[in-house]
Every structure is written in C-alpha cells, then in structure tokens.
Structure 1
Amino acid sequence: MADLAPLLEVDGIETCYGLSQVLFGLSLIVRSGEMVAMMGRNGMGKTTTIRSIMGLTPARAGAVRFAGQDVRKLPSFRIAQLGIGLVPEGRQIFPNLTVRENLVAASGNRLRSPDPWTLEKIHALFPRLAERGNNMGNTLSGGEQQMLAVGRALMTNPRLLILDEATEGLAPLIRDEIWNCLSMLKARGQSVLVIDKNIENLTRIADRHYIIERGRAVWSGTSEQLIAEPDLQHRYLGV
C-alpha cells in the first residue's frame, strides 16, 4: 500500500470535551482504495477520533487533512461535501422520512464519480430496503436501520466511507450482510475507515489496523501482523 496516495491524514490531534482531554496526539492514515480498521475497548477514543475528523468535536491541536486539504477548522457540512460519507454510531436515520426519502435526501454525485451509486444499486446491495421503501425510518429494525445508514452514506458517492461500530448490536444474519457489503466495497476500490470489534472479519477484509488505547494509537500494522500477535489482541482488545 506504500504506493497509494494518502487520502485522509490525521496528524497528532488532541481533542477535549470541555476540560476533559480524550485524544492525546493521535495519528492515522487512510490511503486511496484502502480499508483501515480502528480497534480498541470502549471509551478509548475511537468515536471521538471520528468526530474530530468530521468536525463535530473539532481537535484543538494537530492536523486533519483530506485529499491534501486541511479540514480541521472547517464546518462539518463542508467536510462532508469534500467527499466523506459517515455511518454514525446509533445510525441516526431520519425517523419521520420513508426509507426511500432517507436514501435520496442527501444523494448526489458532487465529485462526478464515473460509476455513481443510485437507488437501484442500493436496492441490489440491500434488497430489504427495496421491500421497505415506503416504511418510515422509525418502524425499521436495528439491522434495517443500519443497512439504511450505510445506503444513505453511499448515496452521497463518497471518496471515503466511515463506519462507526459497523455491526454492534446486530443479529448474526444482518452482521453477515454488512460484512459482505464491506467486502464488495473493498473489491470496488472504495476507501473505508471502519470501527468494529469483530477481529476475525476485520483481519479478513481490512488492509491495516490501528489499536486505540486511552486516546493514542498504540499499534498499527497489517492483518497478518495482527493475527500473528495474539498477546497484543489480549492486552488491548480483551480477546
């Protein structure tokens, strides 16, 4: 992956909630066409990292660069418009819009992708969303809401897709659908940054991994390197 250009560069960011500092000089890189995983126990700063990237909880120090542009001080909507699609923790779909309305509300091809995501392609990816097209968002199961959140993010045709807790709390069959979706996106060349706890699936499809501990990236490496270090997994991931 060394020959791929950096798409997202997080360089030494420090982020606080009020007087409480959560991130302490955290750095990571996602290259174009790469799938990168962030791993770590709960409360270690993974979601805060995502919030800092998206400008939702801006870092007070360090740099966040996307496609070479410094975005740390940009408002969240501008960062999204540059080509980042977010599947947030808790899904946050629009409860009073239908499934179809959720998908088309933020759809667009701002970056002029030659093979853009369309409603038909999302329905092929998640047939259940086609079946539930006229259902209101708040009537969906948790798994259906996660599919909808992924589909909504893809409909923006992002250069980078970010998933925070991609499969947490989902039934096994729905988890399989999400992992199959991520495998397909990897084959398509989609750049992805994903947070999840399923080491088996992450090491199967992700190119590289960062382990986050108390607001710092304490380890990074390939899937092969992570598999080869079970003591590391036990120390930082509790497995």
Structure 2
Amino acid sequence: MPDAAPLLEVENIETCYGLSQVLFKLSLSVRSGEMVALMGRNGMGKTTTVRSIMGLTPARAGTIRFGGQDIRNLPPFRIAQLGIGLVPEGRQIFPNLTVRENLVAAAGNRLGSPDPWTIDKIHALFPRLAERGPNMGGTLSGGEQQMLAIGRALMTNPRLLILDEATEGLAPLIREEIWSCLSMLKARGQSVLVIDKNVENLTRIADRHTIIERGRAVWSGTSEQLIAEPDLQHRYLGV
C-alpha cells in the first residue's frame, strides 16, 4: 500500500498565461508508490498543471511541495534534479541523437536508488528500443518515440514519473504496450502522475483520480468511486 504522506502536494495553485488565468485554486496529491490520474477534456488545464509542477509555467499562487520541500519557485532543472521525471506531451525526444544517446543523455542515479534503471532494463521493458539503438530519434514512429520518452525519463531514476497524454495518437497495439508498462511500473512501486483519456485503463491501474474542468478540480476519488458514477464520466469526460 502507498505511504500515507504525500510525495507531491499541489494546493490551491493559480496559473496564468499573460493576463489569461488557466488554473483556479487547483489541488491534487500523489503519495509514494501511488498512481494518480489527472483527467478532463482537452483545453481544461491538464498540461498547464504539469507545467506548473515542473516550473515551466510557474504558478503565481498556491503551494507545490515535493518530498516535503516547497518547489513552486524553483527553476525546472532543479525540480528535475529533485527526482521528477517528465514524459511531455508530444514526446520531445532529441531527433538528432540516436535512440541510445537519447537514453543516456540525462541518465543518472542522483538519489541513490538501490535498483536503478539501466539501458539493459529499458531494453527489457521496450525491446524495440534495443533494435533501434543506432537509429536517430527523428526516424522513429510515434509509438517508438513514446517508448523512448518514457525510457529517457526512467533513466533519471525519478521518485515521481509524470506522463502527459500517455497514449494519445498511438496505434492500439502500442497503447496496450504502454498500459502494460504502466502496470509494471506500478507493481514496481513507482509513483506516477498520468494524464490520459482512457477511463477503462486508468480505472484498472490507477489508485485515485482527479478530474479537472476549466482549470478547477471538480472531483477526486478512487477507481471504484469513478466506475460507480457513469453520469460523472459523461459530464466531465465524454466527448
């Protein structure tokens, strides 16, 4: 079972792009060993939430704590060094580096994990990356790039892994591979914050969910609670 103390605490954050406010007193948390899903329709503020956590679009108000430390005003590189690995929307792999170079570019075990991720372990997780090792990142398919983005984040041996749009735009077989990967990570005890639209898979593997609507958290609860409320799914998650 996950530890009781939150690893990530986001409390009442407000974030703007210029004069346009996107997040309104948004709160969520992820405990150690827990997988939490952030859900909502397009344009509701999910990616802005991730950008606020990572310091890429700093929140102007509220509190963001990671491992008990206030990180709201830290630069992104410091936040990453504290142990947050990001798989960004759009993947953003390095197109002019090989697959192997992408994996080792930011690799490290700064936090001294006793069982760190290595190239061999990433290859075991995604055998396709072993096959494509010498290839340039820009030549990979979308699914392979997503595997590479996940592998690159894991190579930093993060305490928390954040995936923004984990399976968006991927072929069905690749999606299943990503969901299998996330199930394995959860079994390994990896703390995860995942954004995706697949309610069925999210309720199968995530512990808790926060639904966001127009920059506000409108519902939080367990998978069992979300499954029991189809009207809620239709209201906030239906197309």
TM more than 0.5: yes
Amino acid of the structure 2 residue aligned with 1:209: H
Partner of 1:98: 98
**2:14 aligned partner, one-letter code:** E
1:210 has 2:217 as partner? no
Corresponding position of 1:181: 181
The root-mean-square deviation of aligned C-alpha atoms, in Å, is: 0.9
The alpha carbon displacement at 1:5 in A equals 1.5
Structure-to-structure mapping, 1:222-237, within 5 angstroms: 222-237=222-237
Which consecutive segments of 4 or more residues in structure 1 shift more than 4 A?
none
In structure 1, what is the equivalent of residue 58 of structure 2?
58
Go from structure 1 to structure 2 and tell me whether the alpha carbon gap of 1:2 and 1:144 turns closer, same or farther (over 3 Å shift): closer
Where do 5+ consecutive residues of structure 1 fail to align?
A: none
Amino acid at match of 1:22: V
Show the 5 A alignment for 1:1-239. Answer: 3-238=3-238
- SS, match of residue 91 in structure 1: coil
Query: 2:2, 2:33 within 8 Å by CA — same for their partners in 1?
Result: no
Alignment TM-score, normalising by the size of structure 1: 0.99
- Which amino acid is 1:102 matched to? N
Determine helix, strand or coil for the equivalent of 1:65: strand
How many Å apart are 1:2 and its aligned residue?
A: 7.8
Q: Note the C-alpha offset of 1:3.
A: 4.9
Q: Deviations over 1:174-231 (max 9, x none)?
A: 0011000000000000000000000000000000000000101100000000000000
Give the distance between the partners of 1:109 and 1:3, measured in 2 at CA: 22
Cα distance in 1 between the residues matched to 2:205 and 2:232: 19
Q: Which runs of 5+ in 2 are unaligned?
A: none
Structure 1 residue identity aligned to 2:137? G
Give the distance between the partners of 1:216 and 1:231, measured in 2 at CA: 19
One-letter amino acid of the structure 2 residue matched with residue 57 of structure 1: T
Q: Percent identity?
A: 90
Aligned length: 239
